Every structure is written in C-alpha cells, then in structure tokens.
Amino acid sequence: MPHVHTISGEQLSLEAIEAILQERQTLALSEEAEQRIVSCHTYLQQKISSTDKSIYGINTGFGALYHKRIAQPDLGQLQRNLLMSHACGTGPEVPQDVVKLMLLLKIQSLAYGHSGVQLQTVKRLIDFFNREVYPVLYQQGSLGASGDLAPLAHLCLPLIGMGDVSFQGYKLASEHVLEMFSWGPIELKAKEGLALLNGTQFMAAYGVLALLQSRRLSRQADVIGALSLDAFAGSLEPFNALIHRLRPHKGQVDTASAVRTVLEGSELMQQEKQHVQDPYSFRCIPQVHGATKDTLSYAAQVFLTEVNAVTDNPIVFPEEDEILSGGNFHGQPLALALDYMAIAVAELGSISERRTYQLIAGLRHLPEFLVATPGLDSGFMISQYTAASIVSQNKQFCSPASIDSITSSNNQEDHVSMGANAATKLYQVVQNVERILAIELLHAAQALEFRRPLKTSPALEKLVAAYREKVSFMPADRVLHYDIVASVAFLRESPLWQDM
C-alpha cells in the first residue's frame, strides 16, 4: 500500500514533494486543515450575505469587468462561467507529471484556509490525485500574471464535469470518469472559481520538477565530467582544495570536492601528465558546474516559498475579518528564477558538449572520433553534432521570457510576468541537457577503453561496468540513436548515481 501524505498546513519541502511523486503516495487532509477550510468558507458565505459592499470576483465581474456588480442568485453561475470562459489553453498537452504536481500544489495552497472554497472541492481534487485522474491541460495560454488562468481552468473543469482527463492511459470526457466513480459535479459557490484559477501552480509545478531533475543532472555532470577528465588524460591539479579555498563559492568548492572524491584511486590519474594545462571545459569544471549549483540553491528557496504560499485573489482572513484584493498571483518571482535556472542548467550542457568534442578530436593519443579505423568508420563524429545541435537550441530557449510583458484585460492587467513561457522553456532545456550529458557519457566510456589496461577509479569502474550492460563498446560503426536512448535511460534509472 502506498504511504499517505497528510496535508496539515505545515510547510511542504522539496524532498517531501519528490517522495510523494516517486513513491506514488496518496494525499489526505488533517483535521486541522479541514477545519480551516470549513471555517473560511463559512465566514465568507456569512460575509457575502450580510454586506452590500462590492468584493472583487465574489460579487463583481473579473479583470476589467470589476465594476460590474453581480446579483446574489447569480454568484454560483459567475464562478462556473469563469471556469468555462478561461479554459482557452492550446498547444501541446502538459505532461502528466506536471499535472499531478499542479494538483498537489493547488491542494496545498487551498488547505491554508484563506481561499473560501468548500471542503468538498478540495477533497475532489484529492480524489483526482489519488485515483490518478489527470485533467488534460495545454502548455500555451498563461501570461503568468493573474495566476496561470488558462491552465488552471483546464485543471479544474473536471470538478464541474467538463473538459477532458487522462485515466489509465485513455483520454476521456470528465463526465464519464465522474460517473465511473459515482462522483457528482461540484456546484461552485461564491469565489470558488476564482480561488481555483488564480494561482501560480502551473509555473510552480514546472519549476519544481525542473529543479528536482536539475539537481540530479548537476550531480551526474560532475561524475561524467570526471570520467571524461580521466579518459582525456587530464590533470586533477585544478581541483586541489587550496585553489578553491581562495575563491570559496560554495558550488565551486563542492564541485571540486565531488570530482576529487569520485576519482580517488584512479590509476590513470596517477600517471605523469604530458600537458601543463587542460582546456577550460575540463580545468574549469568547478567554476562552471559550481555556478550552476549556486543558482539551483537560489531557485530552491524561491520555489520552496512559492509552494507553501497562498497565491489566489482576493484572500480571505477570517480572524482579522478582512477580504483583501492584492497581487499574490503575479508570477514575477518565479519568472526570474525560471529564466535564471534555464541559463544555469544550459551551461552544464554547453561545457559538456565541449568535453565531448575534445574527446573525439584525436588528441592525447586517443583515435580520431574514438574508433580504431577512422575513415572507414565515422565513429562518434555525428553524435557530437547532435550534442552541438541541442546546445544551440538551448541558447535559443535561454532568451529570458521575464523581460517581456504585454497588456491584457483592457489595460487593467498592464504588466505580466510571462513566467509560464519561462517555465515551459526551462522544462525543455532540462530534457535537452540530460541528452547532452548522455552523449558525453557515451563518448567518455568509449574513450576509456583506449586507455586500457589502466583503470580509472573504483567508483567510476563500477559505474562504467553497469553502463556497459546497457551500452556496449563500439568497435565499428552502428546506429548510435539506440545508444543515446539507452544512455538517457541509464541516467534516469541506474541506482548507482545515488551513491556518487
């Protein structure tokens, strides 16, 4: 039976999120969280019935229509209309792992009891999560300002029996899945549609998943870079702790230490070096990889704050007897962090491709293109092309989205973050860097064979032996596409990475 994660209002850590997703944990609300949700909803309904005051989005229109007053009997229809009218997403479908995390983050935000939603609404989102009923969302449509309106509209349409969902590998109309589980459509109350749509869960989910994947890639880049260094007959001198003591950026220090550790006991590294210095792609691994680590540390703080925040509007404060309209849905903090992460992670790919190139260049007694008969065989010539192509695409993806803005809603929403575009670009950059590192691993393992009988470190020999069970040495030309696919799978699946 999967472990149950109880949402109680306590902070959700990035490690907890990773465990929930990897272990396929189910969700439940604590009694305290249920009480907060009920108390806030009750307060809001009483407030609406006892005041003639206009309260944005509750008894008024939305955006530039804020000045339109809505009659009491129409408040529920107002929220239903909001979900339908804002479901304007288009483009490719959002990956299910992102949708699953969006559900978790929306539930976490609503559980703080400041959104005025019904308890049954939150529980139905939990039902979707636990039963693996994933609403179908689209990547295009959010400006990242009034929250992620279009994606969140599609996320929540199935609550009212509209839109599509993915269930057990099938794309179905949500009404059929509701019938399957004997779930009636939710009858939205005042403010609920707005609470569901206003929020940054689309940007945040993409960002958190990219961050978790980037942390893994950062560790793997150090290990693969170390293997390339040894196969290239490079020097360990640039990784000496004395150097980094004088420029102690944490990421730089940690990277140098990681490379020294993984190369401990290498016979190749103990050989006398014929070259005074290595190219920057080897010599400056601590500085480049380290800067990425520091960027990821910054991004982690941003996303840790965001996943534990209330980002809808207006926000209900029952104890203070206040309903306040503000801008917590604006995605600027995320947009900047997403762009920064994309640049930093892309650099792991950029320097990796340069090491890949150095390994095939016929330098330091390695054969050209890492094949015994270059000319007859092209060897690893074109796999380097592939890496170079992906690096170039990343450069295009790394143009920052957060410096852009466009006016919407009759100039009421006159500055937007474009964080959603930053999020989807980052997600692609991360997938690209994984492929680039997989290609470097393919090249480094091949190059190592030309150094035999000398061995690299015990840790790397163990890794290479496991890798060789998936990807064999290439004595002559073959279709390398399959090797690249297998290398990507090895990066994702091998348990050995956790110990390195």
Distance in angstroms (rounded) separating the CA atoms of residues 411 and 471: 57
340 given a catalytic annotation: no
Taking the CA atoms of residue 153, residue 155, residue 159 and residue 162 in that order, the dihedral angle to the nearest 10 degrees is: 70
Torsions phi, psi for 447 (to 5 deg): -60, -35
Bond into 453 cis (ω within 30) = yes
Q: CA-CA distance, 52 to 41, in Å (whole number)?
A: 18
Does residue 314 have a cis bond before it (omega within 30 degrees)? yes
Distance CA 114, CA 206 (A): 24
Question: Which residue, chain included where needed, has tokens 């290439």?
Answer: 474
Kindly report the length of the chain.
Answer: 500
Contact 248, 295 (CB under 8 A): no
Q: Which of 167, 166, 161 is nearest to 186 (CA)?
A: 161
Burial 409-440 (b: 16+ CB within 10 A, else e): beeebeebbbbbbbbbbbbebbebbbbbbbbb
- Helix locations, 137-200, DSSP H: 149-156, 174-180, 192-197
From 43, 56, 66, 280, active-site residue: 56
Integer Cα distance of 205 and 193 in angstroms: 20
Helix (H) or strand (E) run with residue 93 in it: strand 90-93
Residue 411 is which amino acid? N
Strands lying side by side in the sheet with 170-173: 134-135, 164-167, 170-173
Number of Cβ atoms within 10 Å of the Cβ of 26: 17
Q: Which residue blocks in 148-284 are alpha helix, DSSP H?
A: 149-156, 174-180, 192-197, 201-231, 241-245, 250-262, 280-283
> What does each C-alpha distance from 9 to 32, 37, 129, 174, 481 come to in angstroms?
8, 11, 18, 29, 47
Catalytic residue list = 56
